[in-house]
Structure 1
């Protein structure tokens, strides 16, 4: 059954690629919304369930000046938010952590930009150890939710948005089935592919959930540590770009290379 499914997927992706070769195909791709009515209804239903849960959590939290609370979009917004939340987090630690986790998982599930600011906020408010634990927990939980949401309705969306990248990812996964965990760890540790794409594409190309989960849980730790630690010195940051300079990226790729070293050594033995 697996080869048949892969053949069908290849044909679907090939059909998309053929449409993209002509100007009319590109126009039709932009004009055609990929989700059917049923898929759109399911996605809206899931969104409403998560939104209702988030609202219920906020309604049970102690009163705060909600006019000052907003999702940060810049380092300046983050500094202001941190100042407004510091006393609240000290007075109501359990309620604050619950609200923080719910917000982070919601954003990660529905691919809402800004989780990197939430990670910086964790460092600024909770310190390195608690901050890394919170970020890895929430990022893994949100990625898991996104994985199952994509498994339900993601195929038409991702083949519409990234047909070439999906075809490449499927080919790479097919070549590395015997050491798939190492490869997924490499992808999670390094910025080779966006985490958003990995979350959406993994169920489409038949990455087993246990491999996806373990690679996410372990592979996000290095980047989470870097981001959370930067949150301790949030006053020195000028932009998000300062987080990932050449030195930081080199370290991440070094860790990623170590994760795929067993695969490289095994191939070398085979060819010898």
Structure 2
């Protein structure tokens, strides 16, 4: 087989994976936007509880798989899925199932993006000059800290935090470890909210998701962000002194 044909086929496969993810994401946004909602969870809560009680392990495995698919294809409903994890399985092991599902899904989309475009873009950034190259070098020097930060800061969209590391050449292991640990605080908060949904359903209300921005919740997360920033600041100060 001609090497050029092989290269072309490999490029087609790489781009095809990204196109597939984008197509499923768009289709899911259109078809599922009214399905993966709080109202849908409230309407089906009795059936979900009954299935969990009959098939606990299957329910847990199926939940993790469904959560991973939602994240991998950027489908609507990730927040509802997290609440569902707390509602069905309690804070523990609910938070563990939520984090595992989210990490698996994030790893899938990270791998697809890295395979499709990440390696090429990272190589171009290394070969470029000026700001782009300095940005890439800064991420390389502070990889773990930066990855933790983008997971801890609530303002960074989850999809962005999955894609950007792939496009700048981040390795798989740091991505998986920082994803698993970095999303834990937020997942714990929302899983706890989900654990209390029974009472919310009884009074016909809706969960208060703004709890993440309450001082008693937000301040510890800000503290973790500060800890992640500290090594970056120290490296910067040492580098300046060495100049």
TM-score, length-scaled by structure 2: 0.72
1:263 is aligned to 232
Helix, strand or coil at the partner of 1:111: coil
2:110 is aligned to 147
**Which one of 36, 39, 54 corresponds to residue 91 of structure 1?**
54
- 1:58-92 deviation digits (Å, cap 9, x = unpaired): xxxxxxxxxxxx9432x333233333211110111
Helix, strand or coil at the partner of 1:231: helix
Q: Greater CA deviation, 176-185 or 126-135?
A: 176-185
Structure-1 separation of matches of 2:136 and 2:196: 39
1:72 is aligned to 36
- 1:236-257 deviation digits (Å, cap 9, x = unpaired): 4635643432423333222111
2:189 is aligned to 226
**Which one of 144, 164, 185 corresponds to residue 201 of structure 1?**
164
**Which one of 206, 229, 242 corresponds to residue 210 of structure 2?**
242
User: Gaps spanning 5+ residues in structure 2: where?
Assistant: 1-10, 24-33, 122-130
Structure-2 separation of matches of 1:209 and 1:182: 15
1:129 is aligned to 92
TM-score, length-scaled by structure 1: 0.65
Shift of 1:217: 1.2
Q: Greater CA deviation, 204-213 or 235-244?
A: 235-244
Structure-2 separation of matches of 1:188 and 1:170: 23
Structure-1 separation of matches of 2:190 and 2:137: 32
Helix, strand or coil at the partner of 2:44: helix
Q: CA RMSD in A?
A: 3.0
Structure-2 separation of matches of 1:180 and 1:38: 29
Shift of 1:210: 1.5
Structure-2 separation of matches of 1:178 and 1:215: 15
2:147 is aligned to 184
Checking the alignment, whether the CA contact within 8 Å between 1:187 and 1:256 is kept in structure 2 is no
Shift of 1:214: 1.2
